[in-house]
Structure 1
Amino acid sequence: MVFGRGRKAKQEQPTDSAETQEATAEGSATETAGASGRAFNGPFDLSEIESQDGYVDLGALLIAPQEGLQLRLEVEEATQRVVAVTMDLEGSSLQLQAFAAPKSEGLWDDIREQIGQSVGSQGGQVEEVPGNFGTELLAKLPASSSDGSQGYRVARFIGVDGPRWFLRGVLGGEAAVDRTAAAGLEGLFRQIVVVRGENPMPPRDLLPLRLPKDNVAPAPAPAPGLEQPERGPEITQIG
């Protein structure tokens, strides 16, 4: 696995009727099932794993290594803080960012709406589609090719709400348009562990990322037989 370093950027009163109690029970069961589904299938909260051994420790994110996987840490020039991690695998990419979230509700519904507005303001289009992690966004943004012709750049946004955190991924390359090509990166996304920490943070603040302790040198050259991936399009603002 190779590391790289890039740059960025009128309520009614409740009743005690049997119908109300039944509806409440059904709602609670649905919420529990949803939470259990994520907890069993990932991505995971730190409290849901037995050991951190074997993971690449990037602060707020623990990532399982895999043969052929390259990681790029995207650094904000003004502050020199790491603001995103990008996985490159088999010609596709997955950009990762983790955010603080409220205890009582998730962020993904609101964030999808904001992404749609942002893409629309750039002349692009978005479509909500079902995916392996729930509702996703398929975004098409205007882009110019190397010969000057106009086309579209496609990105798939996936999001998972966890306990006091939200994890967002942006798939690019073949993984954005081909579910089969996305399988490897989706599998890695499922294995991610989010380290929320105990410090209070405003919702939507980025959880702090950092270079791994055993890899503080500049980005090395790609391993033999592997081409250095090009920097993909980034859509990193969520509000």
Structure 2
Amino acid sequence: MFRRRRREQPEQAVEQEQAVPKRESGPWDADEPHPESDRIDLGGLRLPHNPDFDVRLASVGDQHVGVVVLYEESSLQLQALAAPRGSGLWDEVKTKILAQAKHLEEREGPFGSELAGEMQVDGAGRPARYLGIDGPRWFLLAVISGKAAVDDAVAAAYLDFIKDVVVVRGNDPMAREEPIALRRPNEQAAAGEAAEGPGLNPFKRGPEITEIR
């Protein structure tokens, strides 16, 4: 399980105290004012610390492409992707998901439009919710499955978690839908770590899940 990261550097904390967030909650962009708190630093994502959550990295080959959070017979998958400047990806991604799923319907949720229903895992149905959040030059896909997809009490803990995520897009050029590079908390981001990786396929099985202690 990931350990919490140290608090933001003093000079960063001072800047954030002076700059009041323009919104009540995130997900936050690293360059916008956001609440200072203990977060797990994974490079492209900074995740709020919740001792009840089991946080793991999802990898394809040597590249970390997402995060899996386990809690109360449920899972939350997070993946941050590069998006074009001035336009989001969620409408396009929703169309892709609906083209492959027969048991999902669109509805309004805490982040706007979302998809809810059932996903197929190893031939069996599993309750699921797909939430998409468009940020400045990034897109965050959150997939909640299991008990939390139908139990509001369990879902609330995941939604609060998502609302305090910080996305670190960086300034380097990236291809459309390229995964924003992640790393283990104790790794230094290497030059060129954000090389183009596999595109988004929320139904494709394959990423390896690794636990960090």
Which TM-score applies when normalising by structure 1? Answer: 0.66
> 2: distance between equivalents of 1:184 and 1:155?
16
Contact 2:28 2:34 in 1 (8 A): no
How much does 1:211 deviate?
A: 0.8
Matched, 1:48 2:26: no
How much does 1:90 deviate?
A: 2.5
Matched, 1:70 2:54: yes
Contact 2:76 2:145 in 1 (8 A): yes
CA distances 1:115-142 after superposition (whole Å, capped 9, x unpaired): 11122xxxx3210011111111114234
- Structure 1 runs, 4 residues or longer, greater than 4 Å off: 50-53
Greater helix percent: which structure?
1
Matched, 1:192 2:165: yes
The runs of 5 or more residues in structure 1 that have no matched partner are 5-36, 145-149, 215-233
Contact 1:39 1:48 in 2 (8 A): no
SS in structure 1 of the partner of residue 97 of structure 2? helix
Matched, 1:140 2:124: no
Contact 1:143 1:153 in 2 (8 A): yes
The runs of 5 or more residues in structure 2 that have no matched partner are 4-20, 188-201, 206-213
Q: What amino acid is aligned across from residue 114 of structure 2 in structure 1?
A: E
- Pair 212,141 (structure 1): closer, same or farther in 2 beyond 3 Å: same
Which of 212, 218, 223 pairs up with 2:185?
A: 212
Partner of 1:9: none
Partner of 1:18: none
Partner of 1:235: 203
Q: What amino acid is aligned across from residue 92 of structure 1 in structure 2?
A: S
Q: How does 1:11-26 map to 2 (within 5 A)?
A: none
Partner of 2:126: 153
Partner of 2:79: 97
> 1: distance between equivalents of 2:107 and 2:52?
29
CA distances 1:170-227 after superposition (whole Å, capped 9, x unpaired): 001111112222000110000000000000111211100111117xxxxxxxxxxxxx
Contact 1:58 1:209 in 2 (8 A): yes
Which TM-score applies when normalising by structure 2? Answer: 0.74
- Pair 51,178 (structure 1): closer, same or farther in 2 beyond 3 Å: closer
Percent of paired sites with the same residue: 37
- Pair 209,49 (structure 1): closer, same or farther in 2 beyond 3 Å: same
Which of 80, 85, 97 pairs up with 2:62?
A: 80
Partner of 1:125: 103
Which protein shows a greater Rg?
1
What is the RMSD computed on CA atoms of the aligned residues? 2.6
